[in-house]
């Protein structure tokens, strides 16, 4: 007997960006905070208040708080739908 071959038509994958508008806004604020930190770091005199106190605080805030927050932020009740960052299952 001839073996039956099943032909599965795959639905075209819908690719959406995994981050929402709010995530990009948070990442933009992080970028501004990091840029302000580097600008404060290059101010003269090198032993002044801006380079020694403000610059490290801005850089740590930008890199360690705002960038991870911008990547991980999701509104309450918002679910990841298939097509948003998940791999579709292949049925055989």
Q: How far is CA 25 from the centre of its chain?
A: 10
Condensed to tens digits (0 to 9), the pLDDT of residues 69-79 reads: 999 998 887 76
In this model, does residue 51 exceed pLDDT 80? yes
Q: Hey, where are the domains in the chain?
A: 21-72
Condensed to tens digits (0 to 9), the pLDDT of residues 28-40 reads: 999 999 999 999 9
Mean pLDDT for 37-61 is 95
- How would you classify residue 73: left for phi > 0, otherwise alpha for psi between -120 and 50, otherwise beta? beta
pTM: 0.68
């Amino acid at each position: 007997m001839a073996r039956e071959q099943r032909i599965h038509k795959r639905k075209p994958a819908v690719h959406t960006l995994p981050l929402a508008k709010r995530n990009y806004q948070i990442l933009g604020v992080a970028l501004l905070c990091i840029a302000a930190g580097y600008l404060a770091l290059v101010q003269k005199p090198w032993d002044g208040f801006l380079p020694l106190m403000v610059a490290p605080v801005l850089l740590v805030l930008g890199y360690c708080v705002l960038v991870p927050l911008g990547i991980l932020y999701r509104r309450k009740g918002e679910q990841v739908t298939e097509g948003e960052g998940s791999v579709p299952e292949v049925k055989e």
